[in-house]
């Protein structure tokens, strides 16, 4: 690789089911030049997130699909190398959405400057960034946990789930986490301080969840779907709130979902228990709640009320394998690539 090379990973083909390494292609390109109002960034960290599976698919969704041959998209932290905007100078560190590439040109108006002394830079992609905000906005706006209530969340060792449980406890609720495997479960209980944790791979999962929620479930923060939803649904209390944040158990599914059709039975419970089921994409709350979130979350981290775990992989070339693992629970904490 020469000094003038930028490395990027593009979408080579659309996956059917589980993504495979051949769906990605590593390419070299010339380092781009910024125009007026733009900056050139050297990317330091790339966030890997479950939503990227949706961008690999051409199916209609809330955001446009990544085109074949285009770099995979993603949140990034980068250093300004060259600036053609008065608001930024070389050496500034910024949050951007530059995707899976080592250099990128970005519009200055879309960047947020980061203070490296205020918090580790990686937190801008995790607990103090999009996933932490997703937990905050979804739980507090839709879930609205009250003291003494029971809040259940799966993918509880990840950046969204871990923040959901810890914020629920700050608000006086009981937090019950669901995670895959004994190591993650122990971390969720001992470090994140959840009141109870259930391993979703345990064949007794449904019975153990019922035992951990003797007063039923008031808020179920839906991150996964699948067999976890099946275990949660009968335990929901009247007036339970269900922020539907993600369905990672289904992201690799293709074709029709297998029967039998349980929708009429589910709708009967939605009606008779007055359930609130509300899907959301975090950005709908970003303008109104982003600044308050960053201030409140930074305070909770400083006082030890919120802890976080990061899983850092080194080298852009390792991003595809790490991303494939994310959809299967091989990550342990917020997954980030250090370039
Ligand atoms: N709506 C929004 O705006 C928004 C924004 C950000 C994220 N999200 C969603 O929030 C969820 C969590 O995101 P994250 O970034 O915090 O991910 P994450 O927890 O770092 O990673 C996903 C985790 O999902 C779990 N998982 C995968 N398949 C599963 C299955 N079949 N059953 C149960 N658990 C399974 C795995 O953990 P275990 O090993 O514990 O099973 C895996 O580590 C995702 O669904 C994501 O799409 C939504």
Q: Are 313 and 4 in contact (CB under 8 A)?
A: no
CA distances in angstroms from 302 to 69, 149, 249, 298, 336, listed in the order given: 43, 26, 33, 6, 22
- Of the candidates 167, 136, 128, the one whose C-alpha atom is nearest the C-alpha of residue 282 is 136
What pLDDT is recorded for position 253?
A: 86
In this structure, the number of other CB atoms found within 10 A of the CB of residue 127 comes to 28
Q: Are 77 and 45 in contact (CB under 8 A)?
A: yes
Per-residue pLDDT of the chain (339 residues; tens, 9 = 90+): 455 699 999 999 999 999 999 999 999 999 999 999 999 999 999 999 999 999 999 988 899 999 999 999 999 999 999 999 999 999 999 999 999 999 999 999 999 999 999 999 999 999 999 999 999 999 999 999 999 999 999 999 999 999 999 999 999 999 999 999 999 999 999 999 999 999 999 999 999 999 999 999 999 999 999 999 999 999 999 999 999 999 999 999 877 777 888 999 999 999 999 999 999 999 999 999 999 999 999 999 999 999 999 999 999 999 999 999 999 999 999 999 999
Ligand 1 center to 246 CA (angstroms): 7
Q: Are 131 and 156 in contact (CB under 8 A)?
A: no
What pLDDT is recorded for position 4?
A: 62
Ligand 1 within 6 A of CB of 216: no
**Which of 46, 129, 155 has the most ligand 1 atoms within 8 A of CB, as the residue to mutate?**
155
What pLDDT is recorded for position 203?
A: 97
pTM: 0.96
**Three-state DSSP class for 337?**
strand
Rounded to an integer, what distance in angstroms lies between the CA atom of residue 163 and that of residue 243?
14
Q: Are 143 and 151 in contact (CB under 8 A)?
A: yes
Rounded to an integer, what distance in angstroms lies between the CA atom of residue 113 and that of residue 121?
11
Q: Are 19 and 321 in contact (CB under 8 A)?
A: no
**Which of 97, 123, 158 has the most ligand 1 atoms within 8 A of CB, as the residue to mutate?**
158
What pLDDT is recorded for position 256?
A: 76
Residue 6, Cα to own-chain centre: how many angstroms?
Answer: 27
Ligand 1 center to 8 CA (angstroms): 25
What pLDDT is recorded for position 3?
A: 52
What pLDDT is recorded for position 1?
A: 44
- Of the candidates 284, 243, 291, 240, the one whose C-alpha atom is nearest the C-alpha of residue 140 is 243
Residue 292, Cα to own-chain centre: how many angstroms?
Answer: 19
**Residues counted in the chain:** 339
Q: Where are the alpha helices (DSSP H) in the chain?
A: 52-55, 130-137, 159-170, 182-190, 205-212, 226-232, 263-272, 283-302, 319-326
Residue 83, Cα to own-chain centre: how many angstroms?
Answer: 30
């Amino acid at each position: 690789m020469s000094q003038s090379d930028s490395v990027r990973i593009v979408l080579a083909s659309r996956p059917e089911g589980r993504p495979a390494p051949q769906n990605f292609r590593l390419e070299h390109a010339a380092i781009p030049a910024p125009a007026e109002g733009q900056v050139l960034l050297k990317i330091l960290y790339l966030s890997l997130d479950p939503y990227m599976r949706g961008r690999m698919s051409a199916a209609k969704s809330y955001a446009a699909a990544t085109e074949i041959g285009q770099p995979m998209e993603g949140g990034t932290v980068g250093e300004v190398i060259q600036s053609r905007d008065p608001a930024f100078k070389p050496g500034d560190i910024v949050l951007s959405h530059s995707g899976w590439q080592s250099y990128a040109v970005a519009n200055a108006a879309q960047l947020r400057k980061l203070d490296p002394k205020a918090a580790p830079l990686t937190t801008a992609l995790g607990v103090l960034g999009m996933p932490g905000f997703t937990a905050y906005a979804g739980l507090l706006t839709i879930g609205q946990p009250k003291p003494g209530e029971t809040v259940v969340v799966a993918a509880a060792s990840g950046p969204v789930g871990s923040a959901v449980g810890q914020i629920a406890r700050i608000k006086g609720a009981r937090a019950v986490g669901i995670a895959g495997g004994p190591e993650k479960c122990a971390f969720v209980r001992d470090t994140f301080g959840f009141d109870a944790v259930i391993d979703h791979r345990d064949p007794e999962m449904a019975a153990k969840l019922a035992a951990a929620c003797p007063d039923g479930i008031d808020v179920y923060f839906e991150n996964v779907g699948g067999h976890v939803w099946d275990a949660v649904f009968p335990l929901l209390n009247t007036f339970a709130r269900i922020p539907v944040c993600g369905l990672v158990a289904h992201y690799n599914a293709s074709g029709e979902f297998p029967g039998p059709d349980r929708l009429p039975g589910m709708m009967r419970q939605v009606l008779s228990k007055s359930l609130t089921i509300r899907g959301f994409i975090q950005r709908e709350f970003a303008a109104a709640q982003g600044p308050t979130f960053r201030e409140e979350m930074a305070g909770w981290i400083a006082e030890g009320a919120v802890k976080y775990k990061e899983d850092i992989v080194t080298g852009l070339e390792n991003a595809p394998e790490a991303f494939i693992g994310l959809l299967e629970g091989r990550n342990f904490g917020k997954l980030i690539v250090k370039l």
